[in-house]
Amino acid sequence: MSVRRVTGIETEYGISVPGDPGANPMLLSAQVVNAYAAPATGSLSSSLGATARPGGSRTRWDYEDEAPLRDARGFEVARRAADPSQLTDAPLRGDGRGKGAGADGEPGERGRWTVPAASDVVSAETEDPSTANVVLTNGARLYVDHAHPEYSSPEVLTPRDAVRWDRAGERIVLESLRRIAATPGLAPVTLYKNNTDGKGASYGTHENYLMARATPFGDVVRHLVPFFVSRQVVAGAGRVGIGQDSATAGYQLSQRADFFETEVGLETTMKRPIVNTRDEPHATAEKYRRLHVIVGDATFCEVATLLKVGTTSLVLSMVEAGALAGGPAGDLQLSDPVRALHEVSHDPSLRQLVRLRDGRRLSALDLQWAYFEAARAFVDERTGADTDADTVEVLQRWESVLTRLGTDVSSCARELDWVAKLQLLEAYRSRDGLAWDSARLKAVDLQWSDVRPEKGLYLRLEQRGRVERLVAEEDVRRAVEHPPEDTRAYFRGECLARYGPRVAAASWDSVIFDVAGRGALQRVPTLEPLRGTREHVGALLDRCPTAEDLVAALTGG
């Protein structure tokens, strides 16, 4: 029993050009992606780079095995009936006028995009900015998703590694901004690690957890809905304004909560569900299910990210084992989950009670304590004194945070985003007599999430040692270029680093080579996420100086 599980975090960044509210976000997002992919020469030179192929082309994303319309409830949505935003197995194209480019709730159309003259950053190859897509040597993917630059981390096994490669994504997009700023003719771009523009648009931070397919999906829904509703008290990013358009004055726990409208569903950009049913495992389908979690926030605080991933992994382990049928977390189903999600988020005092189906009324802290007690009992029973250090850390930090949230919320300001942000906002309110409907507070909220260290308020707190770091900065810097060594991301990233010009395409579950002497592209499947590790293939890669050697070794020819 462990928190060790194949996981990953996808982050869509908010994007703007200061002083130009009409700037085309699809084109801006393409600039961000292509700036990082540009050869490290001239004004774009940097120690951080992405693999480019000869002639400026890059390894493309392989969409062949993607199936975004397959539903975990046992059916598949007809393609003609799907909203264009659901067709993530092909690039989403705008209409040339920027329609639908500002939010993941307003997708563009699939058609021709007319782009202004190519610059040093937006190359002729990516004339359609929606196709900007880079596979990185750290095993991650950087691309344009619904008019936002998205960083999808490589697969990792531990919550600490989830933190490490998530923070690496911040460094990667920051490097893109610096390259754009150094390119003549391009306006500087600003990126925000947040989930709403405060005017009615929302963009996602998604988590992915590989779990056993044998687990009935109904059990997943039953036990995860109350957990996700209450998880905000630990993993919320905090937000000024209530309602999708922030029209009501106030402060709430979550950036995303107000944008959810249903309990279960396939969509991610409209009628957003607390539990998403997309059945796209990116792994051996008979063995695995990928739980695609869209209800979370983008968190900077490393403890919050660790707990977001670690506690969810623990709850999933209990669901897989059927260990939640009784005990303290046995029957926590909510009478109205969507309403409860909103109510919990809207009450930073943490006193709001939500109604359960059995008539009880509990707070979000009560619900979290029930899951914690169940997890601690489960771990003690299964592994006891042999529990691994990662699991012990998650349990200890979970208990500590819940205890202090119940007695002194401000004591969690070093660990939880929503508390740290609230403390900063209250300082402004006290000093300047500001009400919650103040435009200055909304500006502070936005500046909190700016990824530039000299501007972002969270990052300035971090520089001053006022938030807790779990991962050394040198480890984050290394994660910018290097993949995890204990998942298949190692094989993907190392192939790009060693044989980049010969890697024609890649995806989560394949690497495709274009090598001399072969009449067709050579696909190497990577369907098992725990193979392709350094232990598994490191020596093989070291023996193969060229892609031709590697393909020959793999095919026996």
Residues 6+ apart with CB under 8 A from 418: 232, 236, 237, 238, 253, 254, 348
Structure-token pair, residue 463: 């520089």
Active site residue 145: yes
Q: How crowded is residue 464: how many other Cβ atoms within 10 Å of its Cβ? A: 8
DSSP letter assigned to residue 284: -
Q: Pairing relation of β-strands 503-507 and 353-355?
A: unpaired
The CA distance from 136 to 445, in Å, is: 31
d(CA 205, CA 449): 13
What is the gyration radius of the CA atoms in the chain, in angstroms? 23
CA distance 127 to 192: 25
CA distance 126 to 130: 8
Question: Dihedrals φ, ψ of 208, to 5°?
Answer: -130, 130
Q: Nearest 10 degrees: CA dihedral of 458, 463, 467, 469?
A: 110
Tokens standing for residue 177: 């901004």
Q: Which of 145, 279, 347, 417 is catalytic?
A: 145
Q: Which residues pair with 506 in a beta bridge?
A: 61, 511
What residues are labeled active site?
145
